[in-house]
Structure formats: C-alpha cells, structure tokens
Structure 1
Amino acid sequence: MELQTLIYLVVGATFLVYIAIAILTRATSTGEFYVAGKGIHPFANGMATAADWMSAASFISMAGLIAFIGYDASAYLMGWTGGYVLLALLLAPYLRKFGKFTVPEFIGDRFYSRTARIVAVICLIIASVTYVIGQMKGVGVAFSRFLEVDFEMGVLIGMCIVFVYAVLGGMKGITYTQIAQYVILIFAYTVPAVFISMQLTGVALPQLGLGAELQTTSGETVYLLDKLDATLADLGFAQFTEHKGSTINLFLLTLSLMIGTAGLPHVIIRFFTVPNVKAARSSAGWALVFIAILYTTAPAVGGMSMFNLLKTMQPVQTEQNTSISSTSTSQLPPAALDYEQRPDWFKTWEATGLLAVDDKNNDGQIQYYNENNPEMQAKAQIYGWAGNELVKVDRDIMVLANPEIAKLPNWVIALVAAGGIAAALSTAAGLLLAISSAISHDLLKGTFMPNITEKAELNAGRLAMIGAIVVAGYLGMNPPGFAAQVVALAFGLAASSIFPALMMGIFSRRVNKQGAIVGMLAGLLSTLIYIFCFKGFFFIPGTEIFADNADEWLLGISPEAFGAVGAFINFTLAFVISYLGRAPEADIQQMIEGIRTPD
C-alpha cells in the first residue's frame, strides 16, 4: 500500500479509538472529571502515567537531543527518570493519603492559607502552559510531515483532537485513552529501533546494538560508536561520546529535571486516581517499568539516527555538469550530497520547512560540516566551500525521519507517525486537565465561589480547558526552541516553585504559610527572570536581553538548568522566614504527622 494512504489509515484509526474511548468514558461528576472516581487499577494507572509523562519531548525530541549533543544529553535521561524515582518515593504516597483532588488544594490546606493556594495555582499554570507548548510543537512536527500540511495547520489539527477527548472525558476518559496511547507509542518507538539495530549491527536489542560492531562489507572490525565519533570529528564537530559543556551546568540541569519531574502537577494528580496509598506505590512501580522500556532505548535511537543521517550524506562520484563548477569527491567534506540526487525522505522533510538547504557556492552539492571549526574553515577556503549548506535540521525530526532514512517498510513509518502523535497528545491532555482543575476547583470552588454547584464547576473546568488549548496552540506555533528544550524550561519552573513547597509541606512541621508563599514566589520569579533574559517575555521574538548567548550565562548555568538554583532560593527563604516567625498551629502539625504515618 502507498505510504501516505497507509499513514492516513493508521493515524485515523488511532484518532477514532481515542474519540470512542472519550465518549464511552465521559465524565459525569467532578470526581470522575478530576480523579477518575479514584477507582483506576494500579497496573492500568502505571501505564497511563507512563503515557502522561512520556511526552513529545521523550518520544520525538529526546533522541534528537542525543543525536546532536551526544554524551551531554544524558542529563535528560538521568534527570527525567531519576525524578520519577523521587516522585514515587517521596511525594506520591503521601499526597494520595491526603486524599484531595489537586496539588494547590494540598498546599492551601497544609499551609492554612488561601493565598498559598492561589500562588500554587499560578505556579502550576505557568509551568503547565510552558510544558504544553512543547507538546504542541511536537504535534505540529508530526502532523506537518505525515499528514502533509504545514506546521501551523498541524498544531490546529492537534488542538481539535485534544479538545474532543480531553474536554469530554476528563480524567476518566484521559486515563483510558492514555493506556491506548502508551501501547501505540511504545510499539512505535521500539519496533523501528529493533529494525535499525539489526540493519547496522545484527543485534536485535538496540540497547546492546549501540555498543556493538557494525556490519561491514569489507569485513573490518569497527564499532558503531567509534565510527560515529570518527565521522563527526572529520566534520569538525565534537565526538558523540565527548563531554562538551561545563560540568556544573550538566549537574544542575540533571538536578533541575529531577526535582522538576517530582513537582509536575499533571503527573502527581495521576496518583489521586487509585483507590489507596498501597495502590499509589504499586502504580508508581509499574510506571517505572513502562517508562524504562523507552528510556533505555532512546540512546540507541539517537546514536543510530545520527549515524544514518551522516551515512546518507556521504560523498558520491557524479558526472561533471558544465552548468556548475565541477567538484570531485576528494574536494568534498566527509558529508556531502548531490542536490539533484537527494533521497525522497530529504525532499519530504524539506517541504515541511523543518529541514532546509542553501547551495551557497552553486556547485550542486550540499556540504555538511562545522563551519565554525577553524580546521574546517581552512578546508573551505582551499576547496571553495561557502559554508555549511545544510542550514536547518530541526532536532525534533530525527526520530520521525529515522525509519525513512533507514528505508524501513511503510507500515513501520506509519506506526511511528501514530506513535509520535500519541506521545504529544497524551501529555497535552494531562497538562490541560491539571490547568483546568486548578482554575475550576482551586480558584472558583476553593477560593472565589465556594457555593458553586457541581455541574457549574464541571462546566467551568471544561471552559478552562478550552481556553488553555487555545493559548497552548498559539504559543506552540511560536515556540522558544525544540520540544525537549521547551519542556526543560517547564521542568525548571516546577522545580523552583512547586517541588520545594510539597517537600516542606510533607516533611517539615516548622515551615509556615509566610515562608511557603515567599519561597514559591521567589523561586518562580527568579527562574522566570533568568529565562526571560535568554528566551524573551512569553517567548515573543526580540524581547530577550542576552539572546541565549552562552557567554552571558551566570556561572555557565543555562536557562534550562536554572530551576535547581530557583529551588535552592525557594528552600532557603522558606526556612529562614519560617524559623523567624511563628510555627504552624498544633492541628496543622498533627495533620502532617497523619500524612506521614502509615495506617
């Protein structure tokens, strides 16, 4: 069957499944809308949690990061998985025992303050909206390629799909939809990885294939990583296995992603959907198992996708064309491609605008190398190259393009299309629910309109979700970076504001409401200001102060890593102010002991 037809059929079938589940599991009460009636089985909740957490950043963008950054991208692997361990051990069981609907509700009750609850809502909305921008970016990338529409139209289509099943189903519908999405995305991620590992190394497990010997026609013994390192070095780039950035930034980025993961409201809320504390612990364990399948595969997908990209760009001898300057393969960099003979996958991604070339010296060849490397600059002057001509390779295309580059069967490419879209939609739905519940349950019901009816609260939640979809869609069309980079900013915001408040709320009887409020605001604002300096105000182009210049970073700390510094500010101010002021009342301290004490 022709590829595009197959993609339409597979992706269309998954959409029908999502919409059918939303209709069949439509939420009819606030309990079902917010926490699925607290009746989800731990195994099912673990699978839904994995899908909720493994977003477009995990499926689409993380392997692209690994492909282009290599070793330093391990911060994303360690941070996101390590953070989930923190969440499972330190937060999830205690918050489930508290037994309410939302994270701001816990903060408001624990710190005996409506102001604290409102501040928590603000922190939640800012972090969640930033996070959902990355998901919409992923949706746009996937749709723009596989449905052959432009990026903006892809985002609009994704908004419509999320609207149907998230607004109708609430948490109940989202949970069962995410179970289906997990099955789709994990097959879509691992199946092509197995195919490509077998192609390159003959090893079926990608985790082992990354460190295995390449299958070569010459019979020489060469390891995949050694060959990849050598090719990148020939192009003037840092080697794949080389540590490139500062150690302190790598450490702080890992820490920021870890505590940001543990502070994400849309993941925490999933543990409110199970019947009891024991089920919360069990579902956390199952989620770790399901998450590990993708995260142990990601390094292989990133390394092999970069290897295949470079292999596609290898110089080939072509007949001289009198209309252009003749260039022998000896005068080409290690990665060069005859423009007229570029493969079909290359042409397809060019049409999306996410891959672009510029034949600067009009020789009919696409030269790919590091034009900022002095050695490559010298070669460019000798051979007449005018600069790197592969002027744009969006990192978010690597996973989606990899099966096409490797010439895998059409059904595998269609499966990857469905998986990439499922990953982005699953997390977007969870984030939108967290935003809508914060607005309808914490602001309206819990603060400004306590006498609102359950039906009115439910409708307010749906309206809030519609508004969040519109805002997220607009910002997703104008993102401040690739999906994983945007998501890292969201994790930093959660790390600096929500995580410290939850940790102190559970494990410290001494922290009072004044300390918690000042800590959250200081952590959030310090991180926002730092991001503003390099990313701009609400991601409006031209409003950044330092334009993401690494030389201007404070102590070499990137905006994505600053969340750990914001968390330190939060903890410090909260403890200092609390110990200078009055301790919480006895009933609050008793409540804290009750949360921590096993039944």
Structure 2
Amino acid sequence: MDIQTWTYIIVGITFAIYIGIAIWSTASTTSDFYVAGGGISPLANGMATAADWMSAASFISMAGLISFMGYDGAVYLMGWTGGYVLLALLLAPYLRKFGKFTVPDFIGDRYYSNIARTVAVICAIIVSFTYVAGQMRGVGVVFARFLEVDVETGVYIGMIIVLFYATLGGMKGVTYTQVAQYCILIFAFMVPAFFISFQLTGNVIPQLGFGGTVSDGTYLLDKLDGLHKELGFAAYTEGSKSMIDVFCITLALMVGTAGLPHVIVRFFTVAKVKDARISAGWALLLIAILYTTAPAIAVFARTNLIQTVSNQDYDSVPEWFTNWEKTGLIAFEDKNADGKIQYVGDTETNELTIDRDIMVLANPEIANLPNWVIALVAAGGLAAALSTAAGLLLVISASISHDLIKKQIKPDISEKGELVWARLGSVIAVVIAGYFGINPPGFVAAVVALAFGLAAASFFPAIILGIFDKRMNKEGAIAGMVIGMLLMLFYMMKFKLGFFGGGSQEDWWFGISPEGFGSIAMMVNFAVSFSLSRFFPAPPADVQEIVENIRFPRGAGGATGH
C-alpha cells in the first residue's frame, strides 16, 4: 500500500480510539472536567503527563532544531529535561497539597485577592495560547504532507478532533486519551529510530548508534562534522551561541516548565501527595525515552539529508523530496541554472530552503523505510500535538469558567452552569487556537520556547514565593507578575515580531535572545515581588497558616473548587 493509504488507516484508527475514549469518559461533574475526579493512578497520570509534556515541539520540532543547530540545540534538551525535574521536586507535591483546580486558583487564594487571580488568569491565557499556536501548526504540517491537504484544512481537522474529546470528556477524557497518545507517539518515534540507527551504524539502539561508526569506520559525528565543513556550515559539534545566551535559554526553559499551568494541573488528578511524587517519577522516566533519542534522530536525519540532496540533479531527486516540495515546506531555487541542488552554508549561493519542522516527519522517507513506518510517524506527530493542545485548551476553559465566572463574576452558579461555561470556554479557545495555527509566528519549537519564557516571567516567582515565603503578600505578587509579563511581552514583540521599531540580533539586551529573555524577566519579577512585599503589611494569619501547611506535604484531600 502507498503512504497515503497507510496514513488514512493508522491515523483513522488512532482518532477512533481518541473519540471512543472521550465518549466512554464523558465528564458529568466539574471535578471530572477539571481534575478527572482526582482518582487517576500514578502510572496512568505519569503517562498522561508525559504525553501532555511531549508536545509537537518535542516530537516534531526538537530533533529538527538540533539537526540544524547542532551543539547549540542542546539548550532545548537541557532546559526542558531539567525543567521537568525542577517541577517534580520543587512544585508538584506542594501544589497538590494545596488542593485546588488551577494555578490561578492557587494564586488567588494564596494572595487573598481577586485581582491576583485575574492577573493569573490573563497570564495563563497568554502562555497557553502562545504554546497552543505551536501545537496547531504541528498538526497543520503533518496533515499538509500525509493527507495531502493544505495546512489550513489540516488545522481545521485537528480543531474538530480536539474540540470533541476536550469538551466532552474534560480532564477525565483528556487523561485517558493522553495515555493512549503516549503509547502511540513513543512507538512512532522509536520505531524509525531503531531502523535508521541499524542502517547507518549497525547498532539497533539509537542512543548507542549516535556514538557509533558508519560503514567506512568513521565515527558518525565525525562524518557529519566533515560533511558540514565541506559545505561551509558551522561544525555540527561546535556551538556558536554566547555562554550567557545558552545559560539564559536553559534557565528560561527550566523555570518556564515549572510555571506551565497545563503541566501543573496534571498533579491535581491523583488522590494523594505521594501519588503526585510517584507519577512525576514515572513521567520523567517515560519522557527520558524520547529525549535521549532525539539527538540521535537529529544526527541521522541531518546526515541522510545532506547525502541525499547536496549536489544532486534536481531532475532526479528522490520521491520524498517532491512530496515535501508540494507542501511548500522545502523549496529549491536554481540560482546558477546548472540543474543541481547547491545546499551550502553561504546564504548567497545556497539554493535549498528547508523548514526545520519537517525533519522528524521526513526522516523515514529520506531513509527509504517501509510505508507503514512513515505513516506511523504521522500518527505519532498528531498524537503529540493534539495531546498537548487538549491540555492547554482545558487550562484556558478552566480559567474562564472556574477562576473568572465561578470565583468572581457569578459565585452562586450551579455546577451544571459552570460545566456549560467550561465547555463554552473550550469552544472559544479552539477557535482562537486554530487562528494561531493557521497564522503562526514561527516554527513550532521557537513558538513553544517563547511560551516557556512567558511562564517563567509571570508564574514561577509567584508560585515559588507563595510556597516558601510566608511574608510574601498580594501587592508584591501582583506587581511582580504584571511587570514580569509585560517586560517579556515587550521584548518578544520587539525582537521576534518586529513591533516597537523592531531590532536585530546585534540589538539584543545583554546579548540574550528572545527565547532566553524569560530568565531576565523572571529575575525582575523576583526582585519587584520580594522588595515591594516588604513595604506592605504581611498576609493575614490564616494565609500564613496555609503556607506553613503546604510546605509539609505529607497528605492531601481531593482537589476542590472552594
């Protein structure tokens, strides 16, 4: 069977599974919708957390980034992996002890202020929409190639699927769907890695093949370095970023992880604090499978790409090239009219433009793997993008229905009414997410990295100080969140989107990229929050008692909305 037939079969089966789970696990209460009733097992929650965490950026874009950036791409591995460790050890158990539905709920109650709650809702929505833009673009990229539709149509299909199982099942449906999605995405990521590792190095384990030798006895990384130097690219194993930028990007990704509302809420779905710790451990182990494989995938893809297209006659390019060329995500411009593809490091003479997001998806085709493997990777990419998109949409809908409607605008609303608002919020969120998917501000991993910077700049200081500083009050927290978020938004819009007069790389403050500036905005947030809090009265005694209680997370009741 051809690739498209296999894709229809495999993607169709996986979508049927997702929809079936949504129907089976329809949420009937707000507790089901927000935190799956608080009864998810640690292993299931670990798998769901891993799927929620491993978005289109991890599955589709991270290895693509590393394959083009080489050594510099390691910042994404270090930041995202280290961030999850930070979240598991420093935040998850304490927030689970607090026992609320959402991050704005924690901030509103901890800082005894509806203004703080509203600021947190706005921050959660900004972070989530920035993040979900990357996921919907990932969906569009997959559909554009494998179902041979345009990117817009692909995004519309993804919107319908996510809307169905996120609004019907809520967190309960999303959790069990994400368990299935983890199994699909990790299988889809590893199978081609096994095949290609054996092809190139004779070692079926990609982590070992990554450091192995190719058929002529040369180490794979040495071979890739040689290919890069021949074509005028920077050496693959040498970095070009400044030390301060590497440090700031890594830190922003780490602390941004710890402030991501859609990941934090996963720890409210288990029954006990002990279960939150266990599920965090399971998630870390399950995430490590993909993250330790991504650098190998990047090297395999980069090596095969260069050897396949560089200096080849355009009239005799392989089928995979023409297939991806139709999507507009790879383009050839014959500048010297010799009919050969000049893929070189010099931008003036380079004739090939490649979207980084296609590398993982195109990798099996470049390596001439069986059609069913190529279709499997498409299903895995969709699983990764849709699982995270669903988690983010739930954060947005919960922020609207619970933290705005229930907690502030209409406190006497019935549970049924709140559930209606939650589902309506999901619909609104899906529509806006679809717009960002069709009009994305950049490739997937870059957009996602900015979301981490926004989370670092806004949430992380408020959460950490809320747990570990009893003296921290509402005035400090509100000012810190507002200033941190505005500073990060200004920098991002100026240097990434060209607003406020734009600016080139030479104009970066302290030489720090927009992806790393969340670290600076976070430090400003900490400084403002801590210093300003000392000029205003300490929190009420009952709030200080809550802080004292959650710092010793030995037990917890179910998550509540009260």
Shorter-chain TM-score category?
over 0.9
- 2:258 pairs, out of 247, 262, 269, with 262
2:435 matched to 1:460?
no
2:246 matched to 1:250?
yes
Do the aligned residues in 2 keep the contact of 1:214 with 1:223 (CA within 8 Å)? yes
Letter in 2 for 1:273: T
Counterpart in 2 of 1:81? 81
Letter in 2 for 1:57: A
User: Following superposition of structure 1 onto structure 2, how do residues 21-100 of structure 1 map, counting pairs within 5 Å?
Assistant: 21-100=21-100
Runs of 4+ in 1 over 4 A off after TM superposition: none
User: Following superposition of structure 1 onto structure 2, how do residues 355-504 of structure 1 map, counting pairs within 5 Å?
Assistant: 355-372=330-347, 387-390=349-352, 392-504=353-465
Q: Distance in 2 between matches of 1:304 and 1:247?
A: 27
Do the aligned residues in 1 keep the contact of 2:200 with 2:215 (CA within 8 Å)? yes
Q: Aligned-pair distance for 1:371?
A: 1.9
- 1:301 pairs, out of 297, 319, 327, with 297
- 1:273 pairs, out of 269, 274, 284, with 269
Letter in 2 for 1:259: V
Write the deviation string for residues 249-293 of structure 1: whole angstroms up to 9, x where unpaired.
000000000000011000000000000100000000000010000
Q: Distance in 2 between matches of 1:82 and 1:64?
A: 20
Helix, strand or coil for the counterpart of 2:441?
Answer: coil
Q: How many residues align?
A: 554
Counterpart in 2 of 1:597? 552
Letter in 1 for 2:285: V
Counterpart in 2 of 1:318? none
User: Following superposition of structure 1 onto structure 2, how do residues 107-186 of structure 1 map, counting pairs within 5 Å?
Assistant: 107-186=107-186
Q: Aligned-pair distance for 1:234?
A: 1.1
Do the aligned residues in 2 keep the contact of 1:546 with 1:552 (CA within 8 Å)? no
Do the aligned residues in 2 keep the contact of 1:535 with 1:544 (CA within 8 Å)? no
Helix, strand or coil for the counterpart of 1:367?
Answer: coil
Counterpart in 2 of 1:289? 285
Helix, strand or coil for the counterpart of 1:419?
Answer: helix
Counterpart in 2 of 1:562? 517
Write the deviation string for residues 185-243 of structure 1: whole angstroms up to 9, x where unpaired.
00000110010000000011111111111123xxxx21110010011111111111101
Which sits farther off after the overlay, 256-265 or 356-365? 356-365
Do the aligned residues in 2 keep the contact of 1:532 with 1:545 (CA within 8 Å)? no
Counterpart in 2 of 1:506? 467
Helix, strand or coil for the counterpart of 1:296?
Answer: helix
2:9 matched to 1:9?
yes
Counterpart in 1 of 2:526? 571
Helix, strand or coil for the counterpart of 1:366?
Answer: coil
Structure 1 length normalisation: TM-score?
0.91
Q: Distance in 2 between matches of 1:273 and 1:79?
A: 25
Q: Distance in 1 between matches of 2:316 and 2:443?
A: 29
2:183 matched to 1:228?
no
Letter in 2 for 1:232: H
Helix, strand or coil for the counterpart of 2:235?
Answer: coil
Letter in 2 for 1:140: G
Helix, strand or coil for the counterpart of 1:274?
Answer: coil
Helix, strand or coil for the counterpart of 2:537?
Answer: coil
Letter in 2 for 1:191: V
Q: Aligned-pair distance for 1:598?
A: 3.9
Counterpart in 1 of 2:495? 534
Q: Distance in 2 between matches of 1:507 and 1:436?
A: 29
Q: Aligned-pair distance for 1:543?
A: 4.1
Counterpart in 1 of 2:502? 546
Q: Aligned-pair distance for 1:427?
A: 0.2
Do the aligned residues in 2 keep the contact of 1:492 with 1:560 (CA within 8 Å)? yes
Letter in 2 for 1:570: N
Q: Distance in 2 between matches of 1:142 and 1:164?
A: 20
Counterpart in 1 of 2:480? 519
Q: Aligned-pair distance for 1:544?
A: 6.3
Q: Aligned-pair distance for 1:535?
A: 2.3
Q: Aligned-pair distance for 1:143?
A: 0.7
Structure 2 length normalisation: TM-score?
0.97
Do the aligned residues in 2 keep the contact of 1:50 with 1:291 (CA within 8 Å)? yes
Q: Distance in 2 between matches of 1:544 and 1:465?
A: 33
Which sits farther off after the overlay, 337-346 or 361-370? 361-370
Write the deviation string for residues 312-357 of structure 1: whole angstroms up to 9, x where unpaired.
02xxxxxxxxxxxxxxxxxxxxx21101101000000000011111
**RMSD over equivalenced CA pairs, Å:** 1.0
Counterpart in 1 of 2:316? 341
Q: Aligned-pair distance for 1:438?
A: 0.5
Q: Distance in 2 between matches of 1:18 and 1:467?
A: 21
Letter in 2 for 1:521: V
Counterpart in 1 of 2:559? none
Write the deviation string for residues 486-514 of structure 1: whole angstroms up to 9, x where unpaired.
00000000000011110000000011100
Counterpart in 2 of 1:332? none
Q: Aligned-pair distance for 1:546?
A: 2.4
Q: Distance in 1 between matches of 2:194 and 2:536?
A: 59
Helix, strand or coil for the counterpart of 1:297?
Answer: helix
Letter in 1 for 2:350: N
Write the deviation string for residues 139-170 of structure 1: whole angstroms up to 9, x where unpaired.
01011011011111111111111111111110
Helix, strand or coil for the counterpart of 2:462?
Answer: helix
Unmatched segments (≥5 aa) in structure 2: 555-562
- 2:542 pairs, out of 580, 587, 596, with 587
Distance 1:590 1:259, change over 3 A: same
Helix, strand or coil for the counterpart of 1:352?
Answer: coil
Identity %: 64
Helix, strand or coil for the counterpart of 1:345?
Answer: helix
Do the aligned residues in 1 keep the contact of 2:97 with 2:553 (CA within 8 Å)? no
Do the aligned residues in 2 keep the contact of 1:102 with 1:438 (CA within 8 Å)? yes
Letter in 2 for 1:573: V
Q: Aligned-pair distance for 1:361?
A: 2.0
Write the deviation string for residues 438-464 of structure 1: whole angstroms up to 9, x where unpaired.
110000001111011111111111111
